[in-house]
Amino acid sequence: MTKVLESRGLNKSFGAVTAAADINVSIEQDSVVGLIGSNGAGKTTFINLVTGYLQPTSGSIHYLDRDITGLTPRQITRLGICRSFQIPQLFQSLTVQENLHVGVGIAARTHPQAGAAIADEQQEIQTLIERFNLRGYRSQLASQLPEGVRKLLDIAMAVAGRPNVLMLDEPTSGVSADEKFRLMDMVMQALKAQGVTVLFVEHDMDIVERYTHRVLAFYEGRIIADGEPAAVLKDAEVRKYVIGDTHAGAH
């Protein structure tokens, strides 16, 4: 198994607040990893650190044997790590079609792997619209889309960069319970075609169980459990600090 992403001794503190504490993680190519933890546990901070939005206080991040610590989001995106956001980052005043037009346009011109692969920008936009079921919303302004569709567009934008590693921050939050699975099915289906390593933050344990090969549980900036979903979700500490099972200690 190739190691695609690795963090070594990753630390991040804001004054007295520790957002990441000694994170040592190694992610394998093509795996699907779930990041769980209560709010403020450090999941988004981890994504922010890996993608260069935040600089670590100490430690390093490696992508395919290359040290990417200290690079900017722009540089890291070009290398092949793309992400979606907790609050979808879209071009509100543009339509879905126009959003993707901008996104694909940038990807084609700035990502080495995308630039080679995207022969026809319009075709690429079409493909993304089809894959993420956005056809009915094509001409709607991003600001007017229902939340689930905004999430899909946000993810589609990330995928437009033809990433090697895709990090999704709470892809199903704000989406109604019955739609969650449909959304994840669609996303996973769309990604299967491209052979992508996926990490996603999720609060819904059913989704975590269903889609991930591996789960990382965060608590107060540290990783308190790392392994297969079934095992991690049964872990006592995880049950206590993440799932909120107050009887965990009794088992």
Positions that interact with other proteins (CB under 8 A): 44, 48, 51, 53, 72-74, 77-78, 82-83, 85-87, 89-94, 98, 101-103, 105-107, 109-111, 141, 143-144, 157-158, 160-161
Q: Is 9 left (phi over 0), alpha (psi -120 to 50) or beta?
A: left
Query: Would you give the end-to-end CA distance of the chain in angstroms?
Result: 36
Burial (CB count <10 Å: 0-12, 13-18, 19+), residue 11: middle
Which residue from 187, 6, 157 is spatially nearest to 82, judged by alpha carbons?
A: 157
Smallest separation, CB 140 to other proteins (Å):
10
Between 36 and 157, CB nearer to other proteins: 157
Indicate the residue among 95 and 243 with the shorter CB distance to other proteins: 95
Tell me whether residue 93 or residue 176 sits nearer to other proteins (CB atom): 93
CA distances from 69 to 8, 28, 51, 187, 190 (A): 10, 19, 9, 29, 30
Rounded to a whole number of angstroms, the minimum distance from the CB of residue 56 to other proteins is: 16
- The CB-of-94 to other proteins minimum distance in angstroms stands at 7
Q: Which is nearer to other proteins, 53 or 181 (CB)?
A: 53
DSSP E strands in 64-149: the ranges are 66-67, 81-83
| Beta carbon of residue 247, minimum distance to other proteins (angstroms, whole number) | 34
Give the nearer residue to other proteins in terms of CB position, either 24 or 110: 110
State in angstroms the smallest separation of the CB of 198 from other proteins: 17
Copy the structure tokens of residue 179: 């739609």
What 8-state DSSP symbol labels residue 240? I
